[in-house]
Structure 1
Amino acid sequence: RYSMKYILVTGGVISGIGKGIIASSVGTILKSCGLHVTAIKIDPYINIDAGTFSPYEHGEVFVLDDGGEVDLDLGNYERFLDIRLTKDNNLTTGKIYQSVINKERRGDYLGKTVQVVPHITDAIQEWVMRQARVPVDDDDVEPQVCVIELGGTVGDIESMPFIEAFRQFQFKVKRENFCNIHVSLVPQVRSRQMKPGQNVSEGQWVAFTDIGCMILILSSLQVICVHDVSSIYRVPLLLEDQGVVGYFCCRLNLPIETRPRKMLAKWKEMSDRSDRLLEQCSIALVGKYTKFSDSYASVIKALEHSALAISHKLEVKYVDSADLEAGTLQEEPVKYHEAWQKLCSADGILVPGGFGVRGTEGKIQAISWARKQKKPFLGVCLGMQLAVCEFARNMLDWKDANSTEFDAETKYPVVIDMPEHNPGQMGGTMRLGKRRTIFKTKNSILRKLYGDVDYVEERHRHRFEVNPELKQHFEEKGFRFVGQDVEGERMEVIELDDHLYFVGVQYHPEFTSRPIKPSPPYLGLLLAAAGRLPGYLQEGCWLSPRETYSDRSGSSSPNSEIAGFKLRSLAPE
């Protein structure tokens, strides 16, 4: 039986240095060599999962097929490696301690004193070894390599049990099956001393940075500099150019050839094409966490994937929804006018998911403007629910219409609590994970964008739903619920008649977007914003081979990756 290979990625000096991108890039390189690769993210916090975090704390909460609410780095792994992970691929201190305590309560330790060493450290190693062998590809083949990212910074008290666990682990699985990449920051200073990179153990692989330059350290002789690049797609190429494949082949005795070859052709093509883009398309992202872009990490990636597919450079205009409200006009008029200027000058408008009442009226005003001005619009989760509220207020004349999340006493509760919502406990009680959405009509823009399928399966994360009892009132006015759940009880997709692109989805399509397989709702928004949606639909949802982009020399060439490529259906085979 082939021995599992483990690559541990740690970080030093500061958190957020780029361990996730390095881990994803290493996995991408090895997968491009024909290996089956999986990934595990370890977060040393005591929370069971990321579901109750504020987006300002850790960025977005990424949702998996099985409903796991996990760290956003798992989104990087899925996008880079084009795999589907499970909630057990995100390991936290809370999960480990909970599992050990449950064993202790059952008497599994036979009356022994339960301690960090060996019980916690053993539990960590057992979890990693078990999860590393869970298939992540469609063919259900057991992975050959597991890339493990340890969150935080080496030296934090929270990460010490994990450091000790992997110190033991390297001897358990043997040296030829385990190596460590340490990502470090090296500030650019005149002194020759590089203290951030000191105390690196033999056999580690380190990545340093010179303010914007990361380094990977394998040992004192295995140091790789990862400088700033024009696109994250270039990071795997940069690592490959510096001999990472050869190192892993020797260090881990991997069953791949070390001779130079074109392993990352798609990534190079994407990177080159991204650098050549001249035409620009702007999207106003109207939300409440706009000061921290990681709060909308998957949304931004989905927009980037779609922009690249149509050969446009993406400009995201972050609009704080609270700045669009009348109260801001009175208190901070400059902010108010700047927010509206950004909104009105954008080619398209996106209102993403979110929670809480702050800024919701500003989002409703942005949606109203998009509807009245025929501006391309996409509402995701809360964005869809607020589009329902806006239409009810202004087209059905239900002035008090609202979600019971924001006004429990509203006369017109157009968005209501779902039956399974448990208000007594926050964690894991929402409608989560992959669910099926059935298209109820053939005449749907979104259905065509998905490849004219009968249904799609996308990931959800919400506690509230559109009130199904009021459906008829909306559809009489041209506000159509074109997608519903399997039982026909939940409204999943909305479209507005007499509008180029006014679409809302209850699910989060950004979680399944990939660099060369953009999410259909986001692709539709970008096509509409660029003025190309009618032609795309008329061509049968093909990006025509005639469509070209210009390189810096002014010549034109076909969009080789996307041109003539029919968007892959997201429905099961």
Structure 2
Amino acid sequence: MKYILVTGGVISGIGKGVIASSLGTILKSSGVRVTSIKIDPYINIDAGTFSPYEHGEVFVLNDGGEVDLDLGNYERFLDVTLHRDNNITTGKIYQHVINKERRGDYLGKTVQVVPHITDAIQEWVERVAKVPVDGDNSPPDLCIIELGGTIGDIEGMPFVEAFRQFQFRVKRENFCLVHVSLVPQPKATGEQKTKPTQSSIRELRGLGLSPDLIVCRCTNPIDDAVREKVSLFCHVEPQQVLSIHDLSSIYRVPLLMEEQGVSRYMINRLQLHPHIANRPKRFMADWKELADRYDRLLREVTIALVGKYTKLEDAYASVIKALQHSALAVSHRLNLRYIAASDLEMETLSQDPVRYHEAWHQLVSANGVLVPGGFGQRGIEGKILAVNWARTKKVPFLGICLGLQCAAIEFARNVLDMKDANSTEFHATTKYPVVIEMPEHNTGVMGGTMRLGLRKTIFNSDKCIMKKLYGNVPFVEERHRHRYEINPTFVDKYEAKGMKFVGRSEDGERMEILELEGHPFFVGVQYHPEYISRPMKPSAPYFGFLLASCGKLQGFANRGFRKSPNMNYSESSDYDDEELIKINESVSKDAEVLVNGPLFSASSTSTSD
């Protein structure tokens, strides 16, 4: 088994995850079976209880593991399925060691960081690295391990010491270290400064680890003099110093690394023997085509993302990636507008009219509206107003998890004449509880208590748009993360008025997909399809949403929902839905109303809250 450890220096958030993912992408394209591990030195057992503003989104795996968002990067770049144990935290390691101590496994010895914690880390890595991640059930050849944080962080010291020992445990020919460091370029001088990198490498070497590759993150490509300086003071050859400057998209990072001979170096350094049979056909060529298309896109599609955590892009990392994948597939550049849901509410109008009107202007001038998942009451009424706009003005709409629930609440209030309809999450004693808590939800414990992981959704209609977008399959398997669901008591009333629940759980009790009849595209899904979207295999709900937002859905339907081989699904011609053209004209006129006041009366979405 071969191992590549990726560490970071100088600052956090330098792009270790993208570098690690790109390394895996390059080596996988050469025929090497690759897996990944992300190490987070925090004491939390998993990422499930994090605030999105604290750590970004929580990424969910097939087995229900709530993990760091970097594992999403690994799955998207490598097109593999990882497991909860591929995310190691300090909390998991200490819990594992303490459980062993309580069982008496250490036979009365004093349990210490060295050797017991460090041994547990090494054993965990070796065990997880052997778990198959591809369909053929063959063990991986290579494990790429990203150590979170920066070298020198006190919480990361046990992991650094563990890998100092690990390099001797598995032998040098099986272990390689890649260090990612910042090379700043102050505007005052315009010079690229290597001193921070030198200091970072010095500290790393002082801890017993020496890098094989140094990745210099910089604004502009480093010149030969800088490369030579890093080589001289950091004890590596010049060809072992990589320059990764700011690029037009992350899709160009693997290409830039490969241009600098990374795969050749790694294959020689680790004595890898790529499997020719496992080498994906045209993988890097397709990847280059993907990156080139991203740079060439001229037409633009504007999507309004109405959420709660709009101040931090990482809070919706997978949603954004899924939108980008689908926008690329329909040959449009994504213009994503982040709209704070609370800014759409009447309370904001009285407190900050400028912010209120700006939020509504951003919403009504968008080509499509997306309401993502979330928790808590803040901004809920704003989300419901956004749903009302999309429904009544026939603007393409996609609701994810809580977005589906908001669509159900809005429809109940304004179509089913249930003025007080709500979710019991927000109003425990509402007269019309159209969204209720799942019966198996454990209310006494936080973390890992929701409906999590891969679940099956059965289609109950052959005419629904979602079944066709998925390829006319009888069922789909998607990842879930929720503890509230549509109340099945009200389903018949919804369907009688045209809101059809076309996808349900295997027992038929849980509503997984809703579609609104007579609307160009109004879809809600209880699961999170963004988790398994891939750059070259976009998620079906997002793809359909982008097609509708670009006015190409009807044309795609006329072609029998067939995707072209090179993923450019709209390459032959532009299909414009006449109805959507009229809708956009109507939207432009309605946007003018915002100058004089709110679009909806307060009673249109009134609640008893």
Using structure 1 for the length normalisation, give the TM-score.
0.93
Does structure 2 retain, via aligned residues, the 8 Å contact 1:204–1:219?
no
- CA-CA distance at 1:493 after TM superposition: 0.5
Instruction: Select which of 432, 435, 441 maps to 2:455.
Output: 435
Partner of residue 309, structure 1: 329
Distance in structure 2 (CA, Å) of the matches to 1:62 and 1:544: 30
Instruction: Select which of 424, 445, 460 maps to 1:404.
Output: 424
Does structure 1 retain, via aligned residues, the 8 Å contact 2:395–2:521?
yes
Does structure 1 retain, via aligned residues, the 8 Å contact 2:330–2:568?
no
Partner of residue 208, structure 1: 216
The within-5 A match list for 1:472-483 is 472-483=492-503
- CA-CA distance at 1:249 after TM superposition: 2.0
Distance in structure 2 (CA, Å) of the matches to 1:174 and 1:543: 48
Partner of residue 231, structure 1: 249
Instruction: Select which of 503, 514, 533 maps to 2:553.
Output: 533
Deviates more, 1:378-387 or 1:221-230: 221-230
Deviations 1:216-267 (A, max 9, x none): 9995322111011111111000001011112112211112499xx9761111
Partner of residue 246, structure 1: 264
User: Alpha carbons of 1:546 and 1:244: their partners in 2 closer, same or farther (altered >3 Å)?
Assistant: closer
Q: Give the counterpart letter for 2:241 in structure 1.
A: V
- CA-CA distance at 1:543 after TM superposition: 3.9
Q: 2:173 matched to 1:176?
A: yes
Distance in structure 2 (CA, Å) of the matches to 1:151 and 1:388: 40
Partner of residue 357, structure 1: 377
The within-5 A match list for 1:252-271 is 252-256=270-274, 264-271=284-291
Does structure 1 retain, via aligned residues, the 8 Å contact 2:183–2:193?
no
Does structure 2 retain, via aligned residues, the 8 Å contact 1:277–1:549?
no
Does structure 2 retain, via aligned residues, the 8 Å contact 1:7–1:179?
yes
- CA-CA distance at 1:403 after TM superposition: 0.3
Partner of residue 562, structure 1: none
Does structure 1 retain, via aligned residues, the 8 Å contact 2:185–2:193?
no
Q: Give the counterpart letter for 2:131 in structure 1.
A: V
Instruction: Select which of 38, 50, 56 maps to 2:35.
Output: 38
Q: 2:96 matched to 1:82?
A: no
Secondary structure in structure 1 of the residue aligned to 2:364: helix
Deviates more, 1:262-271 or 1:244-253: 262-271
Partner of residue 466, structure 1: 486
- CA-CA distance at 1:366 after TM superposition: 0.1
Q: 2:74 matched to 1:58?
A: no
Structure 2: runs of 5+ lacking an equivalent:
574-609
- CA-CA distance at 1:94 after TM superposition: 0.4
- CA-CA distance at 1:544 after TM superposition: 5.8
Secondary structure in structure 1 of the residue aligned to 2:250: coil
Distance in structure 2 (CA, Å) of the matches to 1:396 and 1:126: 58
Does structure 2 retain, via aligned residues, the 8 Å contact 1:212–1:228?
yes
- CA-CA distance at 1:109 after TM superposition: 0.3
Q: Give the counterpart letter for 1:358 in structure 2.
A: R
Secondary structure in structure 2 of the residue aligned to 1:57: helix
- CA-CA distance at 1:209 after TM superposition: 2.5
Does structure 1 retain, via aligned residues, the 8 Å contact 2:306–2:369?
yes
Please report the RMSD computed on the Cα atoms of aligned residues, expressed in angstroms: 2.1
- CA-CA distance at 1:208 after TM superposition: 1.6
Q: Give the counterpart letter for 1:246 in structure 2.
A: R
Distance in structure 1 (CA, Å) of the matches to 2:397 and 2:197: 48
Higher helix share: 2
Deviations 1:90-142 (A, max 9, x none): 00000000000000000000000000000000000000000000000011110
User: Alpha carbons of 1:545 and 1:431: their partners in 2 closer, same or farther (altered >3 Å)?
Assistant: closer
User: Alpha carbons of 1:546 and 1:125: their partners in 2 closer, same or farther (altered >3 Å)?
Assistant: closer
Structure 1: runs of 5+ lacking an equivalent:
551-556, 560-573
Does structure 2 retain, via aligned residues, the 8 Å contact 1:206–1:219?
no
Does structure 1 retain, via aligned residues, the 8 Å contact 2:175–2:270?
yes
Instruction: Select which of 439, 442, 451 maps to 1:422.
Output: 442
Secondary structure in structure 2 of the residue aligned to 1:536: helix
Q: Give the counterpart letter for 1:355 in structure 2.
A: F
- CA-CA distance at 1:304 after TM superposition: 0.6
Q: Give the counterpart letter for 2:406 in structure 1.
A: L
Instruction: Select which of 325, 328, 346 maps to 1:326.
Output: 346
Secondary structure in structure 1 of the residue aligned to 2:314: helix
Q: 2:396 matched to 1:376?
A: yes
User: Alpha carbons of 1:412 and 1:450: their partners in 2 closer, same or farther (altered >3 Å)?
Assistant: same
Deviations 1:449-498 (A, max 9, x none): 00011100000000000000111111111111111000001000000011
Secondary structure in structure 2 of the residue aligned to 1:389: helix
Instruction: Select which of 114, 134, 150 maps to 1:137.
Output: 134
- CA-CA distance at 1:53 after TM superposition: 0.3
Deviations 1:421-458 (A, max 9, x none): 11111110000000000001111000110001110000
Deviations 1:290-328 (A, max 9, x none): 111111010011011101111111110111100000000
Q: 2:180 matched to 1:164?
A: no
Partner of residue 564, structure 1: none
Q: Give the counterpart letter for 2:214 in structure 1.
A: V
User: Alpha carbons of 1:92 and 1:509: their partners in 2 closer, same or farther (altered >3 Å)?
Assistant: same
User: Alpha carbons of 1:313 and 1:184: their partners in 2 closer, same or farther (altered >3 Å)?
Assistant: same
Deviations 1:142-180 (A, max 9, x none): 000000000111111100000000000000000000011
- Equivalent pairs counted in the alignment come to 548
Instruction: Select which of 126, 151, 169 maps to 1:154.
Output: 151
Using structure 2 for the length normalisation, give the TM-score.
0.87
- CA-CA distance at 1:192 after TM superposition: 7.0
Distance in structure 2 (CA, Å) of the matches to 1:308 and 1:15: 30
Does structure 1 retain, via aligned residues, the 8 Å contact 2:32–2:275?
no
Q: Give the counterpart letter for 1:238 in structure 2.
A: L
Partner of residue 568, structure 1: none
Does structure 1 retain, via aligned residues, the 8 Å contact 2:6–2:20?
yes
- CA-CA distance at 1:213 after TM superposition: 6.8
Distance in structure 2 (CA, Å) of the matches to 1:13 and 1:91: 23
Distance in structure 1 (CA, Å) of the matches to 2:264 and 2:275: 9
Partner of residue 12, structure 1: 9
Distance in structure 2 (CA, Å) of the matches to 1:95 and 1:548: 43
Partner of residue 312, structure 2: 292
Q: 2:346 matched to 1:346?
A: no
State the 4+ residue runs in structure 1 displaced beyond 6 angstroms.
212-218, 545-550
User: Alpha carbons of 1:114 and 1:546: their partners in 2 closer, same or farther (altered >3 Å)?
Assistant: closer
Distance in structure 1 (CA, Å) of the matches to 2:336 and 2:307: 12
Partner of residue 116, structure 1: 113
Partner of residue 485, structure 1: 505
Distance in structure 1 (CA, Å) of the matches to 2:142 and 2:81: 15
